Amino acid sequence: MKKKNSELDFLTSLEEGKEVTQQGISNKISVSIGFVNALVKKFVKKGTIKVQQAPYKRFVYYLTPKGFSEKSKLVLDYLTDSLSLFRSMREEFNEIFSKNINSKFIIFGISEISEIAILSANELNAEIVAIVDPKISKKLYFNIPVFKKMP
């Protein structure tokens, strides 16, 4: 999934058709310059992008119609993978909460994963009594008390 995400990020970064360097793309999507170069070669060969030289070692990259189609496919794959991961995590949390129905829970860290846990807990009437996250200054998160360290 990581490679697909990098390809999607790469194509998204080119969508504006602005003049950029491979270093700039590399920084923007957090991959190596070598990987950006490999993506450029791959997508030029596939006809997904076109490259036009601009002044001072810069290039303008354009998505072709095939490129827009490829990007749409990658977006669909990303959404499908994300929903699959969401369902899988929700099932795991449902199983944990179902097996420990009379327990109280503390979540460590505020993230998308903790949001899934909270949704699952609410669905099964499981009690989350606190969230511990040393990096967050919120007092409440989905009406659950947040602490910087264990209460």
2-71: in CATH 1.10.10.10: yes
Task: Say how far apart CA 35 and CA 13 lie, in whole Å.
Answer: 14
pLDDT at residue number 2: 61
pLDDT for residue 75 is more than 90: yes
- pLDDT of 78 higher than 70: yes
Phi, psi of 107 (to 5 degrees): -100, 140
Instruction: Convert the pLDDT of each residue in 92-108 to its tens digit.
Output: 999 999 999 899 999 99
This prediction has a pTM of: 0.73
Q: What are phi and psi of 33, to 5 degrees?
A: -65, -40
Any idea where the domains of the chain sit in the sequence? 2-71, 100-147
Closest CA to 58 of 92, 22, 90, 89: 22
Q: If you average pLDDT over residues 82-88, what whole number do you get?
A: 96
Q: Please write the tens of the pLDDT for every residue from 54-74.
A: 777 778 888 999 999 999 999
SS3 34: helix
For residues 27-62, one letter each, b for 16 or more C-beta atoms within 10 angstroms of the residue's C-beta and e for the rest, the string is eebebeeebbeebbeebeeeebbeeeeeeeeeeebe
Pairing mode, strands 144-147 and 127-132: parallel
Condensed to tens digits (0 to 9), the pLDDT of residues 103-133 reads: 999 999 999 999 999 999 999 999 999 999 9
Task: State yes or no: pLDDT of 1 exceeds 80.
Answer: no
